[in-house]
Structure 1
Amino acid sequence: MIKQANEHPVAAAAGCDRLRSRRRLATLALLLFGSHALAQPALRVSSQKQSLKILLQAAGELEQVPYPIEFASFAAAAPTAEALAAGAVDIGSLGDAPFVFAAAAGAPIKTVGVIKLKVTPTAVAMLVKDDSPLRGAADLKGQRITTTRGSIGHFLALAALRSVGLHGADAQFIFLQPAESRSLLSNGQADVWSTWDPYTSMVQMEGGTRVLVSGEGLFAGHMLLVANDQAIREKPRQIADFLRRLDRAYAWANQHQREFSKIQAGYSGLPLEVHERSNRYSLPRRIAVGPAVVEDVQHTADLYREEGIIHQSFDAAAYMDASFNEVE
């Protein structure tokens, strides 16, 4: 037995060498690839009703991603802002109004990208029932306005009031999530619903409502891509790559509107026509974080401060990060 065990010392040595070689190769592979993977932790993304995930998936931009992406979904902007502030997500989409609302409350967040939407008569709008006696912004005095606190709908209502010399205190605000606001308008417990697409497209197609005040001229059409400060420090490569993917995905969606609308309808359960209408008019595209965006956010912040919604001065430029401005 002993003789047999020592019968082929050269072969045994060769086997040991091969084993050591394989181990060295495995170690080298770990150093080359494993450490890269470890250096690319997951990017946690939030959007309303999985809208960004649906977009990226439809455009094929979730294929061959060199880092994991974890998606979270919320019904409105406020929970997204809260998740960003708490560090529960790294990046998410917010309108300029909820962004200001969150940043002014101390959330450690910055705008790292911007999606420009075409502002149509119904992209953001204040809606009333067809038989409402209200005919314009001047009629908002004393009316019950339902919207989501800190949302773009809230901003529009304030901007509309101020456009005719009124203030937020001149109307009665009822702050609810969109589905609840819609119900209040329908059952007569609210006089006006201030909201945004796709809700505006949905109720317009259903009939029974009309636009009292449009966001045209009052809303700049910026959707902000917002990251928290820790993610900007620790995940800049993922953020930069993610923004480029979004850029390409929006371009694809604009070129394939019907195909994309069908995919959206499959997720939302809304009629295809709702998404087709929204996509046909909005034509979103990525733009750089620049002076026009800073000016728009500053305008929103100034309005909020004058209305007593935020109480301290707000420097919009301090909450902008232009280091991800590479736009394809």
Structure 2
Amino acid sequence: MHRIIDHINGALARPGVRAALFLLFLLQGCTEEKQPVVTLGAQASVQNALVWVAKEQGIFAQEGVEVKIKPYPSGKRALEGMLRGEVELAVMAETPLAIAAPAHPRLRIFATLGKSDNNICVLARRDRGVVRPEDLRGKRIATQRGSAVHFFLSSFLLQAGLRRDQVELRFLEVEELAEAFARGEVDAISMRDPVLERAEQMAGDGRSIRLCSPGLYTKTYNLVGWREFSGRHPEAMERILRALSRAALMVREEPRAALAVMEKRLQIVPERLQQIWSNVNFRLTLNQALLLSLREELRWAVSAGLLGPGVLEPGRLPDFLAMVETAPLQKVLPEAVGLIGVEEKNP
């Protein structure tokens, strides 16, 4: 045994052997892909909790990827930021994505991070005589144009038996909605928390009423980027999805720790936070329901005049299945992918 060790020590003492081993060490290091710093746009909201939990709890870092999050007032604005080149990935509802799809066929959906069917409400001025949906007739209602809250409002009015021309619709930026409501410039707003809570507080006790319709509309939260991103950085994409999957597990198994992250970031009343939290299903998926929603909401956008002239050929919708990049999620969480036609798309 001592003789073997002596032979090894003797070999290591030779300059040529030491140089060869050093070169081998360097080459091994060079084979490891240097992970990029990924910029991700996201709204600071309960619905986007997976992104913030993965960041604040160090899960992205544990998976070996550096993610810098750029906050936006809404998912629509995060998409607009990505289109301007401010971020590489963004989290958004399916509505602005459907509207952007015809003009931007290189957009890709990498995962749905969660969904909720009771996330958006109409907040109305009780002191203006609104106590039920039908009372919105002739009222001034504000929302963010071409977004999930706009689509919900259209569905809500239809459910209440009201046509578009029977209300006065106004479009404002997200940051303007609570103030406009509190000042009485509009009679109602279609929005989600924390904007709704801020508007209620600014308007004063007893002056507003929430009109909600659970189950009317299911909003999804989707991780979206350019087609080229996953092609250039396949390993980074998989690490991001793995981190988000771990964050989803943490939300389910350690909800208090996850809630603490969002309570600190949003500074929202704990009772309200818990209520919003209970309405969101945090789970990574890519399923057929997403494609159906994208098609339905693009048809609505066309009928509402939200697309510019010539953007979409009459009677022809984009191939939304082609916009779903299933390969990264299939590697990380294969059971999460359930799309008809995926076998043909990704042989």
Give the TM interval when normalised to the shorter protein. Answer: 0.7 to 0.9
Q: How does 1:61-80 map to 2 (within 5 A)?
A: 61-80=59-78
Tell me the CA shift for residue 238 of structure 1.
Answer: 1.7
Counterpart among 93, 101, 106 of residue 95 in structure 1: 93
**Greater alpha carbon shift after TM alignment, 196-205 vs 71-80:** 196-205
User: Which residue matches 1:317?
Assistant: 321
Cα distance change, pair 234–184 in 1 and its aligned pair in 2 (3 A): same
Change (3 A) 1:234 1:15: closer
Which position in structure 2 is the counterpart of 1:43? Answer: 38
Give the 3-state SS of the residue equivalent to 1:62 in structure 2: helix
Residue 258 of structure 1 pairs with residue 256 of structure 2: yes
The superposition leaves residues 143-199 of structure 1 with CA deviations (integer Å, 9 ceiling, x where unpaired) of 222222222111111222333555545433332233320111111101111112343
3-state secondary structure, aligned to 2:279: helix
1:124 shift after superposition: 0.8
* Gaps in structure 1 of 5+ consecutive residues: 1-13
Closer, same or farther: CA 69–226 of 1 in aligned 2, 3 Å:
same
Instruction: Identify the range of structure 1 (41-50 vs 223-232) with the bigger mean alpha-carbon deviation.
Output: 41-50
Query: Pairwise mapping of residues 1-328 of structure 1 onto structure 2 (< 5 A)?
Result: 18=15, 24-38=20-34, 40-49=35-44, 51-106=49-104, 108-120=106-118, 123-164=119-160, 166-200=162-196, 208=206, 209-212=208-211, 214-287=212-285, 289-310=286-307, 312=312, 313-315=316-318, 316-326=320-330, 327=333
Aligned partners of 1:255 and 1:161: how far apart in 2?
A: 38
Structure 1 pair 164–104 and aligned structure 2 pair: CA distance change class (3 A): farther
TM-score by length of 1: 0.81
Deviation of the 1:211 alpha carbon: 1.8
Instruction: Quote the RMSD (CA, aligned, Å).
Output: 2.9
Alpha-carbon spacing, 1:268–1:107, altered in 2? closer, same or farther (3 Å): farther
**Larger Rg: 1 or 2?**
1
Contact 1:201–1:277 at 8 Å: present in 2 too?
no
Higher mean Cα deviation, 147-156 or 59-68?
A: 59-68
Q: Contact conserved, 2:136 with 2:167, CA < 8 A, in 1? A: yes
Q: CA deviation at 1:240?
A: 2.3
Task: Kindly state the Cα deviation for residue 271 of structure 1 after the two structures are TM-superposed.
Answer: 3.0
Letter in 2 for 1:48: Q
Q: Given that residues 84 and 109 in structure 1 are in contact (C-alpha distance below 8 angstroms), is that contact kept between their aligned partners in structure 2?
A: no
2:63–2:243 Cα contact (<8 Å) kept: no
Measured in 2, the distance between the counterparts of 1:163 and 1:105 equals 31
C-alpha distance in 2 between matches for 1:318 and 1:95: 18
Task: Give the Cα–Cα distance (whole angstroms) in 2 for the partners of residues 202 and 185 of structure 1.
Answer: 10
- Normalised to the residue count of structure 2, the TM-score between the two structures is 0.77
| 8 Å contact kept, 1:42–1:67 | yes
Contact 1:262–1:272, Cα closer than 8 Å, also in 2:
no
Q: Are the equivalent residues in 1 in contact too, given 2:50–2:248 (CA < 8 A)?
A: no
Do 2:60 and 2:66's aligned partners in 1 also have CA atoms closer than 8 Å? Answer: no
Deviation for aligned residue 1:107: 6.4
Query: CA separation in 2, counterparts of 1:130 and 1:26?
Result: 76
* Letter paired with 1:219: Y
Partner-residue secondary structure (3-state), 2:244: helix
Instruction: Give the AA of the match of 1:235.
Output: H
The answer on whether the counterparts of 1:59 and 1:253 sit within 8 Å (CA) in structure 2 is no
Q: 2:237 aligns to what SS in structure 1?
A: helix
On the 8 A contact 2:63/2:242 being kept in 1, the answer is: no
What is the alpha-carbon distance in structure 2 between the residues aligned to residue 265 and residue 236 of structure 1? Answer: 33
Answer with 290-299 or 54-63: which moved more. Answer: 54-63
Query: Structure 1 residues 32, 308: closer, same or farther in 2, change over 3 A?
Result: same
Give 1:111 shift. 1.4
Q: Conserved in 1, the CA contact under 8 Å of 2:37 and 2:66?
A: yes
Return 292-301 or 176-185, whichever deviates more: 176-185
